[in-house]
Amino acid sequence: MRIAALYDIHGNVPALDAVLADVDAEVILVGGDFVAGPWPAETYERLRSLEGDVRFIRGNADREVVDEEPGRAPPELMEFVRERLPEEAFGFLRTLPLTVSVGRALFCHATPRNDEEIFTRISPDERWEEALAGVDAEVVVCGHTHIQFDRRIGDIRLVNAGSVGMPYEREPGAYWALVDGTDVELRRTEYVPGDLSVWPGEWPEASPDEATEFFERLSRGE
Ligand SMILES: [Mn+2]
């Protein structure tokens, strides 16, 4: 069964539309952090109106949209997203699970135990082993740090699907992964960007090395 893993769309509907046109899969797996960005309502409606087997997991930003407490994201950006989402989206976001398993593949946003902790392609094996302890899967697909990678931790193939809407990669485009059993293909789809000036915040851009270094410092509490 082919599963298109679409992670960290971040409300970037032109990127999502291009990927949806490019996808040939039986399952669409939305890997969290899909509404927080420039076009929240359009992104939400596009994904919710898809026909076929569509599964969602929760990202930290999806949780912060519905949380009463201020989270990691700037409050004015979360407010921009909340004002635009349809009412029913709030209930839907609250129902999302932390992980979804399909066969021997397990999908999570950051790690299987947590939707926001920071792990990268260069995080030490020992840290990853601790985060993956007790996981019964051959493939673990994560996202959250917006950079694709494919590595092995013990018996587990660990893949970051990358980010559809806000990637930190060398080439422009929308990044995602096609998972078929335990096969994984990291994919990139080109698209014409929308006008990001509608977004009231900065739109971050970084090379994969810069972003990885930044996230590693963050994960060490520096
Ligand atoms: Mn995230």
**Residue 13 half-sphere exposure, CB side, CA atoms within 13 Å?**
14
As a whole number, mean pLDDT of residues 162-185 equals 97
Distance 33 CA to ligand 1 centre (A): 6
Distance 110 CA to ligand 1 centre (A): 7
Q: Lowest-confidence range among 11-20, 21-30, 38-47, 70-79?
A: 70-79
Distance 60 CA to ligand 1 centre (A): 5
Distance 61 CA to ligand 1 centre (A): 6
Distance 87 CA to ligand 1 centre (A): 22
pLDDT score of 72: 79
Q: In which band, very low, low, confident or very high, does the pLDDT at 73 lie, cut at 50, 70 and 90?
A: confident
Cβ neighbours of residue 218 closer than 8 Å, sequence gap 6 or more: 118
Total domains in the chain come to 1
CATH number, residue 48: 3.60.21.10
Q: pLDDT, tens digit, for every residue of 85-125?
A: 999 999 999 999 999 999 999 999 999 999 999 999 999 99
- Residues at Cβ < 5 Å from ligand 1 ion: 33, 59-60, 144
Distance 216 CA to ligand 1 centre (A): 15
Mean pLDDT of the chain: 96
As a whole number, mean pLDDT of residues 158-187 equals 97
- Give the structural domain span for 121: 2-219
**pTM for this predicted structure:** 0.96
pLDDT score of 141: 98
Distance 46 CA to ligand 1 centre (A): 20
pLDDT score of 66: 93
pLDDT at 71 > cutoff 80: no
Q: Where are the beta strands (DSSP E) in the chain?
A: 2-6, 27-30, 53-56, 99-102, 105-108, 139-142, 149-153, 156-160, 174-180, 183-189
